[in-house]
Structure 1
Amino acid sequence: MSPEAALQKAIRARLISTAAVTGLVPASSILDRNQRPAPSPSIILGEAVARDDGETIARSRVTVFADVHVWKREPSLEGAKDISGAIRAALRVRNSDAQDGFHIADWRVASTRFLRDPDGETSHGVMTIQAIVEEI
């Protein structure tokens, strides 16, 4: 498993186990998929990039930036912002679970932006999660 996949797995595990998130988005709609349209509402995981910051000579630690997409069919951005707020709160709790040989040493929401989809009916939020992931 890659550090990017381990982080995605940890994020999904946290989101589906957090009632404030699943109260807004069913766990079955928190997934990794390429297909559009996304279910409404949904949280789509997948894109990521890893950077070796050279913090350890063993090169066992990387910083991963993972995008989390929030989709909701609505006339405003309010629902997407509510879902993003629930995600932010869920990730505020430090992750201590190992994921298939990787430890998520730290994570945080590095940025969030909200967009109006060109279809005129859908709001879209993009959150970037920054995490330090260490191979154990």
Structure 2
Amino acid sequence: MTISDPSLSLQKAIRARLIASPELMALVQADHVMDANGRPEVMPAVFVGEGQTVFRRWDATTYATLHVWFAEPGLVQCKEAVSPIVAALRIDAQADGVLLIDGFTVHDMQATQTRYVRDPHGSYSHGVVTVAAIVKARTA
């Protein structure tokens, strides 16, 4: 089967890179890094959420949104967890080489935005990390 949209392949690679980060795993259990909807039932958690792909003739930019959740009254733990996420998701083909994912080659990937949202009830912190990756389809 030919994979024509890289968003699922990128989602799998993002999860693999996150659970390979000792800094993040010191804060969040590996089985709490998942694809899920809504507020998590387990805390802390990182949800690899929404995706979008913008196609061009020779390559595409694929976006992913990660949601970071902690049960805390402030934003400290959430912000501490976002730093290793940003570091784990940096790919620079010129400096480090490319990343091969299912059906595609990632030439550049980085967090493009982080946001921190306070829970209206004061029980949770919620971080949102937007990631962009420039990918090219691979044949076989």
Q: 2:106 corresponds to which residue?
A: 104
Aligned length: 131
Q: 1:84 corresponds to which residue?
A: 82
User: Gaps spanning 5+ residues in structure 2: where?
Assistant: none
Identity value in percent: 41
TM-score computed with the length of structure 2 as normaliser: 0.86
Q: CA deviation at 1:97?
A: 3.3
Paired residues of 2:63 and 2:130 also in contact (CA < 8 A): yes
Q: 2:128 corresponds to which residue?
A: 126
Amino acid aligned to 2:43:
S
Amino acid aligned to 1:102:
F
Paired residues of 2:34 and 2:48 also in contact (CA < 8 A): yes
Aligned mates of 1:20, 1:12 — CA distance in 2 = 14
Amino acid aligned to 1:105:
H
Q: Once structures 1 and 2 are overlaid, which stretch shifts more, 36-45 or 122-131?
A: 36-45
Runs of 4+ in 1 over 6 A off after TM superposition: none
Q: 1:41 corresponds to which residue?
A: 44
Paired residues of 2:105 and 2:137 also in contact (CA < 8 A): yes
| Equivalent residue in structure 2 for 1:31, among 14, 29, 34 | 34
Q: CA deviation at 1:38?
A: 4.1
Aligned mates of 1:99, 1:90 — CA distance in 2 = 15
Helix, strand or coil: the match of 2:89?
helix
User: Gaps spanning 5+ residues in structure 1: where?
Assistant: none
